[in-house]
A and B are shown apart, each in its own frame.
Chain A
Amino acid sequence: MSSSVAVEARDLSKVYKGPKGTTTLAADGVSFSAHGGEVFGLLGPNGAGKTTTLRMLSTVLTPTGGTALIAGHDVVREPDAVRASIGFLSGNTGLYPRLTPREVLRYFGRMYGMSDPALDQRIGHLAGLLGMTEFLGKRCDALSSGMKQKVNIARTVLHDPPVLILDEPTLGLDVLTSRTIVDLVKDCRAQGKCVIFSTHIMGEVSRLCDRLAIVHKGKVQFSGTLAELRGRAGDDLEQAFISVLESVP
C-alpha cells in the first residue's frame, strides 16, 4: 500500500434546501482518507448519503460545509484540477446515444487535453483490454447495457487519472461484465491508483476493498480495515455491516 493520501474528505456536509424553507441534511461531517494503491469501500444503505458524498468529491455538488482534497487539489477552490485528476462512474453517467463509443471517448479525451494520436492509441488499448473493439463504431443507442458500461469504464480511465470514484459500477450487469470491471479495479490498484468503490454487494467488498467506511444517516459510522469490521461479528461481513447500522440510534 502506498502511503500517499490521494483522497481526504474533511468534515464534508451537504444540506439540500426544499420547498417552503425545509432542509435535508444528506451528508453530515463526513471524513475519511484513502491512499494510492488502495481500494477504499464506501458502504451504506440506500439514502445514507454515499452518492452525495461521492458527488461532492467529484465536484458535481458543492459542499455546504467542509471540503475534500483529491490528489492534492481542493474540491471547492480547484474544481477543474480535481475533475482532471479523477475518473467518475455512476448510474447517472450516461453515454450520448447518437454518438459512437469512439466519438464519445475522443470527445472526453480532448477535454482532458489529450492529443489526437495519444488519444487514438489509448482508445485502442482500452478497447482491447475491455473487449470493445467490435462495437467502437456502432452508435451507443444500439449497444447492450453491458457494452455501454464498458464504454463508460473506458471513459472513466481514459485519461489515466490517479483517483477513480466508482459508484455501484456493477449494478445490473451480467457476471462476465462484472468480472471485467472487478479485474480493472484490481489493475488500477496494482498501478498505484486510489479507488473509491461504493457497492451493496458484500462479495465485491470482501474481494476488493482494503479499507472501508460505512455511512449511515449522513455520517461515517465505521472506518477501518475489513478485518476490523469482520471482528465485530465473527467473520460474517454482512452481519458486521448490519450491526454497525443497528448501533446507530
Chain B
Amino acid sequence: MNVRHVSIIAAKELRDVLRDRRTLIFMLLLPIVVMPLIMIGMSKLMMSQHRAKEERELTIAATPAAQTMITALASQWQSDNAWAIRALMARIGFESAAGLKDMARLSAKAQDLRRKSEKQAGTDAATLASWKALRDLGEPERDLLRDMDSVSHLVALTNWVDLDAVRGTDRLPPGVTIPADLPPRLAASRVAGAITSKEKAVHAAVDVVDDYDLLLEQASLSVPITVLYDASQSLSKEAYDRLDAFVEALGRAQVRVRLDEHQLKTGFVKPFELKAANLASDSREIQAVIGGFLPYLIILFCFFGAFYPSLDLTAGEKERFTLETLLLAPVSRLEIAAGKFVVVFLAAVTAAVLTTASMAMTFTHGILPQGTAEAFNLEFQPLALVLAASLIVPVAALFSAMLLGVALFARSFKEAQSYAAPLQFLIIAPAVASLMPDLETEIKWAWVPLMNVSLLMKELLKGNYLWEFYTITLVSMLVLTAVVVWLSSLMFRRESVLMRT
C-alpha cells in the first residue's frame, strides 16, 4: 500500500467531508451544542417540576372530625416544640416562627439555602452565616427542621374537603381495586372514583378512628390513620408522602413526650441505632454516576460521528457518480478504502472527544442549574483518562469499518441510511451496560464487544484500574476490529459491490 496515495485520498476526503453540513452537524454541533442544551434543559425541567410539586396545594378529603384532629395535632406539635424551634431559628439566624404558616415559610427558606453552594449563597454576611449554620446542624436539629417542614407543609398546603361531600364516578378505571380492609367511610367507590379520575379533584382521602384521643391517651395501641391514594399518580403519591411525613413527625414528638413523662431515655424505644459512615464523598458518588453515563454517550457519539461521513464517502459517491471517477485513478482499491477509513475514523474520534469535553464543560463550569454544579467537583485521574481514551481507538475503528462496508453495498445515500440506521440498536444494547448500576464488571464481560468498553470506562472513571479486564477488552476489540476492517476491505475489492448502482 502506497502511503502517499492514502494521504492524498484522505486529505481530499477530509476537505470534502468538512464541507458537508450533515457531517458537521453530527460531528460538531450535536456534541458541542445540542447535548449540553438538552442536559441543561432536562435538568432544569426536572427541578422546576419537583419544586412545583413540593409547593402545590393538594386536596385531601377527610371527615370534619379528622380535619379537626389533624389541625389540633399540628398545633400540639408546635407548642410541644416551641422552645426547640425558637432555639433552632436563632441558631440559623432566622426570625422566630409565629405560627404554622410562618414555619412553612421558614422551612422553605432554609431548604432553599441548603440547596445552594457557599458561593451561590451570596456575599451577605448574615446569609452566609445562616448557610454555614445549616451545614453544621447536628442530627437532632436536622430532624427537628425536617419535622417542622413536614408538619407545617401539610397544614399550609392542604385544601381540606369533606369526605361525605366527595362526588366521584362509580365506574373505576382499569387496574383500580378498592382494598378489602378499608374503613367503611373510605370504601365507597365514589371516593376511589374521585381520586383516580382524570380530573384529579381529590388527591387522597384520610380517615381517623373516632376515639383517637382515647387510644392516644392509653398509649397501648397505635392510632390507625388510613390514607386512600393512587400511587400511579404523582400528586396523589405526593399527598400520601406528606401525610406519611406528618405522621412520622407527630410520632417522634409523641414518643419524646411519653419518654419524658416516664423519665425514660431514647434507648428505651430505640434499642439500636445504625450509624452510617459513608466513605464516598458526594463528589465520588456523582463521579460514579457520571462514570456510568459518559461511556454510553462516548460510544453513541462515536457512532454518530462516523455515520454520515461513511455514508457520504461510499453510497454518496455512487449517487454522485464520483466513485467510478476515483476508481480510474492509478491507485489501488485498498488505498481508496484506507483513505476513506482514515477520515471516517477521525470523524468518529473527534465526535467522541468533543462529546467528552463538552460534557465535562457542562458539569464543571457551572452550566448546570443552581446547586448541581458545585457537587460535580470531579477529579478524573490522568492515567484513567489515557486508558479510557485508548479504548476509543478500537471503537472508532470498528464503527468506521463497519459503516463503510455496509454503506458501500448500497446504491444510494438513502438506501445506505436504511442499512446503517438499524446498526444503532446493535451499538446501544451493549453500550447501555455502563448505565446499569447493578451490573458488576465481571471478567466474562470483557469478551463481549462494546459492553466491555462501556463497563471498563465506567470503572476507569471511578479510578479502578482493572488490568486483566483492560487487556482482554483491548485485545478482543482489536481482533474484532481487524476482522471487520478486513471484511470491509474485501467489500472495496468486490466489483459487484463497487459497481452496484
Identify the A interface with B (CB < 8 A): 17, 58-62, 80-81, 83-84, 86, 88, 90-99, 103, 107-108, 110-113, 155
> In the complex, which residue of chain B has the Cβ closest to the Cβ of A61?
B495
Q: A80-B330, A96-B16 are in contact. Are A17 and B324 (CB under 8 A)?
A: no
**A99 and B15 contacting across the interface, CB-CB below 8 Å:** yes
**B44, CB-defined interface residue at 8 Å:** no
A–B Cβ pairs within 8 angstroms, 8 of them: A59-B328, A94-B321, A94-B322, A96-B16, A103-B12, A107-B12, A110-B8, A111-B331
Q: Which residues of A contact B499 (CB under 8 A)?
A: 60-61
**A80 and B16 contacting across the interface, CB-CB below 8 Å:** no
Q: Which residues of A contact B322 (CB under 8 A)?
A: 93-96
Tell me the complex Cα distance, A180–B8, Å: 31
**B328 and A93 contacting across the interface, CB-CB below 8 Å:** yes
A60-B499, A93-B321 given; 15 more Cβ-contact pairs under 8 Å:
A80-B330, A80-B331, A80-B332, A83-B329, A83-B330, A84-B330, A92-B321, A94-B321, A95-B325, A96-B322, A97-B320, A98-B20, A107-B8, A112-B330, A155-B325
**B19, CB-defined interface residue at 8 Å:** yes
Q: A94-B321, A97-B320, A111-B5 are in contact. Are A83 and B328 (CB under 8 A)?
A: yes
**B324 and A93 contacting across the interface, CB-CB below 8 Å:** yes
Tell me the complex Cα distance, A110–B327, Å: 15
Q: Which residues of A contact B324 (CB under 8 A)?
A: 60, 90, 92-94
Q: Which residues of A contact B495 (CB under 8 A)?
A: 61-62
Min CB distance B111 to A, Å, is 56
Tell me the complex Cα distance, A81–B330, Å: 7
Which residues of B in the span 447-496 have a Cβ within 8 Å of any Cβ on A?
Answer: 495-496
**B496 and A17 contacting across the interface, CB-CB below 8 Å:** yes
Q: Which residues of B contact A60 (CB under 8 A)?
A: 324, 327-328, 499
Which residues of B in the span 291-333 have a Cβ within 8 Å of any Cβ on A?
Answer: 320-322, 324-325, 327-332
> In the complex, which residue of chain B has the Cβ closest to the Cβ of A152?
B325
Q: Which residues of A contact B20 (CB under 8 A)?
A: 98
Q: Which residues of B contact A59 (CB under 8 A)?
A: 328
Number of A-B contacts (CB under 8 A): 65
Q: Which residues of A contact B12 (CB under 8 A)?
A: 96, 99, 103, 107
**B328 and A103 contacting across the interface, CB-CB below 8 Å:** no
**A112 and B329 contacting across the interface, CB-CB below 8 Å:** yes
Tell me the complex Cα distance, A94–B20, Å: 17
**Chief secondary structure at chain A's binding surface:** loop
Most buried by A among B20, B321, B332: B321
Partner of B16, one of A62, A98, A113: A98
Min CB distance B49 to A, Å, is 45
> In the complex, which residue of chain A has the Cβ closest to the Cβ of B329?
A111
Tell me the complex Cα distance, A64–B209, Å: 96
Q: A60-B499, A61-B495, A110-B8 are in contact. Are A96 and B329 (CB under 8 A)?
A: no
Q: Which residues of B contact A112 (CB under 8 A)?
A: 329-330
> In the complex, which residue of chain B has the Cβ closest to the Cβ of A88?
B328
Q: Which residues of A contact B5 (CB under 8 A)?
A: 111
Q: Which residues of A contact B328 (CB under 8 A)?
A: 58-60, 83, 86, 88, 93
Min CB distance A154 to B, Å, is 13
Tell me the complex Cα distance, A61–B501, Å: 14
**B320 and A96 contacting across the interface, CB-CB below 8 Å:** yes
Q: A61-B499, A103-B15 are in contact. Are A111 and B325 (CB under 8 A)?
A: no
Min CB distance B342 to A, Å, is 15
**B15 and A108 contacting across the interface, CB-CB below 8 Å:** no
Q: Which residues of A contact B330 (CB under 8 A)?
A: 80-81, 83-84, 111-113
Tell me the complex Cα distance, A60–B19, Å: 28
Which residues of B in the span 75-105 have a Cβ within 8 Å of any Cβ on A?
Answer: none
Most buried by A among B9, B12, B320, B330: B330
Min CB distance A15 to B, Å, is 12
Min CB distance A207 to B, Å, is 26
Min CB distance A141 to B, Å, is 9
Partner of B325, one of A84, A93, A103: A93
**B329 and A108 contacting across the interface, CB-CB below 8 Å:** yes
Min CB distance A49 to B, Å, is 15
Q: Which residues of B contact A95 (CB under 8 A)?
A: 322, 325
> In the complex, which residue of chain A has the Cβ closest to the Cβ of B327?
A60
Q: Which residues of B contact A58 (CB under 8 A)?
A: 328
Tell me the complex Cα distance, A113–B329, Å: 11
Min CB distance B322 to A, Å, is 5
**A94 and B320 contacting across the interface, CB-CB below 8 Å:** yes
Min CB distance A93 to B, Å, is 4
Which residues of B in the span 1-55 have a Cβ within 8 Å of any Cβ on A?
Answer: 5, 8-9, 12, 15-16, 19-20
Q: Which residues of B contact A97 (CB under 8 A)?
A: 320
Tell me the complex Cα distance, A90–B322, Å: 11
Min CB distance B495 to A, Å, is 6
Tell me the complex Cα distance, A62–B496, Å: 11
**A111 and B8 contacting across the interface, CB-CB below 8 Å:** yes
Tell me the complex Cα distance, A83–B325, Å: 11
Min CB distance B309 to A, Å, is 12
Tell me the complex Cα distance, A234–B15, Å: 57
Tell me the complex Cα distance, A108–B5, Å: 11
Q: Which residues of B contact A83 (CB under 8 A)?
A: 328-330
Tell me the complex Cα distance, A236–B327, Å: 39
Q: Which residues of B contact A107 (CB under 8 A)?
A: 8, 12
B323-366 near A? 1/0 per residue, CB < 8 Å = 01101111110000000000000000000000000000000000
The 5 closest A-B pairs by CB, nearest first: A94-B321, A84-B330, A98-B19, A83-B330, A93-B325
Min CB distance A189 to B, Å, is 21
Tell me the complex Cα distance, A58–B495, Å: 13
Tell me the complex Cα distance, A83–B328, Å: 6
Min CB distance A188 to B, Å, is 17
Tell me the complex Cα distance, A107–B324, Å: 15
Tell me the complex Cα distance, A79–B449, Å: 39
Tell me the complex Cα distance, A84–B499, Å: 21
Min CB distance A158 to B, Å, is 11
Q: Which residues of B contact A96 (CB under 8 A)?
A: 12, 16, 320, 322
Q: Which residues of B contact A61 (CB under 8 A)?
A: 495, 499
Min CB distance A73 to B, Å, is 11
Tell me the complex Cα distance, A155–B322, Å: 12
